[in-house]
A = this chain, B = another copy of it.
């Protein structure tokens, strides 16, 4: 039985069940584990000695929260994260002495010293068109030719159809959360699965056929 790729609707249903009375997870719990998965996946591929400077790009929705949590863990792992966030969700960053930037000019200035980008801009509830400032942020990130780690769905891709408009990021690494979405079926880079918190009952109900995570890791690499 092969891994199921999710529609946006099913991904949303799973999230709702996790946070329902039956699942009993809080958003904070899920976000903490999701962000930790992303940080671990990035750390797996990009050694902190060679890629110390991580630019974490956060969007306005829940996925931006995953990005903030990931940045905090990356700081703990010895990286120097800089966070691009258009909204002011930054108390934790300030306290962790993580630099934040909040306009496109500052983002452009940060790219030359960046080693790797964590893309937590749009998640599985993304629907185009891409609004400002992200319509200019995505081309900036692409043109930088830096390595990119995308969370769940590369920003700019349709959740079910993929990069049909051609305006999406082209990440080297993808961290799918809970289960991969239909739109990334053709993704050919390094693909991790993270978000190790799906109860067996939910996995069966949605026929996810998840692979086994190794040991006590929070991520598992998906291979063809």
Q: Which residues of A contact B (CB under 8 A)?
A: 21-26, 28-29, 32-33, 36, 39-40, 43, 72-73, 76-77, 91-92, 95-97, 196-197, 199-201, 213, 215-216
A22 to B97, CA, bound (A): 12
Copies in the complex: 2
Q: In angstroms, how far is the closest chain B Cβ from the Cβ of A192?
A: 13
A28 to B213, CA, bound (A): 24
Contact B215 A77 (CB under 8 A): yes
Contact A91 B28 (CB under 8 A): no
Q: A22-B91, A22-B95 are in contact. Are A43 and B199 (CB under 8 A)?
A: no
Q: In angstroms, how far is the closest chain B Cβ from the Cβ of A118?
A: 14
Q: List 14 A-B contacts (CB under 8 A).
A: A23-B92, A25-B92, A28-B29, A28-B32, A29-B29, A29-B32, A32-B32, A43-B216, A76-B197, A77-B213, A77-B215, A95-B199, A96-B199, A97-B200
